[in-house]
Amino acid sequence: MEIETADTSNQRLYKQVFSNNMRKTAKPTIADFDPDSYGYTKVSFEPDFKRFGLEKIDDDMMGLLFKRVYDIAGVTSSKVNVHLNGKKIKGLT
């Protein structure tokens, strides 16, 4: 899993990687961030199929994950852009 957040107020970009089912935490990197850019938070992950007794994400699980993203978009301020696999999801207007 990787988390990345860009803070325009402090002009910093924070990245951190977790592994081994989040038991191992890499040292975070903090770098300068262009204050003219938009702030954001990005969460990326690859599920541990073996841990959950799966070979892949089935259609039901994929539907649940997609639904959660749409739920977030639906209840979040229109000032926040929510994306799923690179596609912007329309939220509140």
Alpha carbon distance 33, 24 (integer Å): 26
Which carries the bigger pLDDT value, residue 90 or residue 26?
Answer: 26
pLDDT at position 92: 60
Contact partners, residue 92, CB within 8 Å, separation at least 6: 74, 75, 76, 77, 78
Does residue 93 have a pLDDT over 70?
no
Q: Tell me, what amino acid is at 22?
A: M
Rounded mean pLDDT, 1-5: 95
pLDDT at position 76: 86
The pTM for the full model equals: 0.70
- Reported as a single tens digit per residue, the pLDDT across 7-66 is 988 999 999 999 988 899 999 999 998 878 888 899 898 888 888 888 888 899 889 989
- Would you kindly state where each structural domain of the chain is located, as residue ranges? 1-46, 49-93
pLDDT band at residue 4 under the 50/70/90 scheme: very high
pLDDT band at residue 67 under the 50/70/90 scheme: very high
Residue 77: what are its φ and ψ, rounded to 5°? -50, 145
